[in-house]
Amino acid sequence: MELLKQRIREEGHVLGDKVLKVDSFLNHQIDPVLMMEIGDEFARRFAEAGVTKILTIESSGIAAALTTALKLNVKMVFARKKKSALMNEEAYVTKVHSFTKNETNEVTVLKKFLGAGEKVLIIDDFLANGEAAAGLAYLVEQAGSEVVGIGIVIEKAFQDGGRRLREKGFKVESLARIAAFSDGKVQFVEESVKA
Ligand code: 5GP
């Protein structure tokens, strides 16, 4: 997605050799116009998947998941990382190790919002080692539903998550794929131009 790559080039900051900071449009401040474009693009890529529900994880996946849900006309639910006193109902739970925070969270979705027989599209902001997406896929499995796709805004293709998820058979679509960070600059994976 050229517009997204342009924003990453212009506004992204590389931290160390593995982390990209894009807090001016995705991870802190959110650009709603760009998010609508992202939702349109995910909806286009998963148009044939028969999606009935979108699942993401708080907080940075929510904006892209919401615009995609709006476009596909389905509900969106986000998994919570912290237990809330309000969540005193039956829930699906799994553990997810956070790449950026280096901590493990119990990730929870109330059963009433993730039923059986759904065709679930998982959306997240970044893909690194694939822990978050795999954890969400496990929640879907617990619910007796099917993951019909995984949509990622920014995939760091030099980390292992994309390969692991694709090897498991998931259809993973990433809107920008990063091959490497070199000298503080982002290098994208060259995509073959589709007719
Ligand atoms: P994974 O679970 O695939 O290892 O990492 C994905 C999760 O970690 C995403 O939900 C995202 O919040 C966070 N993350 C991973 N890498 C980056 C990064 O380079 N920049 C930002 N801002 N978040 C990242």
Contact at 8 Å (CB) between 96 and 57? Answer: yes
The pTM of the full predicted model, rounded to 2 decimals, is 0.96
Does the beta carbon of 100 sit less than 6 angstroms from any atom of ligand 1?
yes
How far is the centre of ligand 1, averaged over its atoms, from the C-alpha of 78 (Å)? Answer: 16
Using one digit for the tens of pLDDT, what is the confidence trace for 99-141?
888 999 999 999 999 999 999 999 999 999 999 999 999 999 9
Rg over alpha carbons for the chain, rounded to the nearest Å, is: 16
At 94 the three-state DSSP class reads strand
Atom from ligand 1 closest to the CA of residue 131: 2
Residue for token digits 């849900």?
69
For residue 158, what are its two tokens? 């030099």
**Ligand 1 mutation target, pool 57, 125, 131, 186, most atoms within 8 A of CB:** 125
In this model, does residue 13 exceed pLDDT 80?
A: yes
All structural domains of the chain: 2-194 (3.40.50.2020)
Atom from ligand 1 closest to the CA of residue 127: 3
Does the beta carbon of 147 sit less than 6 angstroms from any atom of ligand 1?
no
Detail the DSSP E strand segments found in 16-115: 19-21, 53-57, 75-79, 91-97, 104-110
Q: What confidence tier does 193 reach under pLDDT thresholds 50, 70, 90?
A: low
Atom from ligand 1 closest to the CA of residue 124: 10
Distance CA 96, CA 136 (A): 9
pLDDT the model gives residue 192? 59
Using one digit for the tens of pLDDT, what is the confidence trace for 72-109?
999 999 999 987 776 689 999 999 999 888 999 999 99
User: CA dist 32 to 54, 95, 150, Å?
Assistant: 19, 31, 21
pLDDT the model gives residue 195? 44
* % of the chain exceeding 90 in pLDDT: 88
Does the beta carbon of 108 sit less than 6 angstroms from any atom of ligand 1?
no
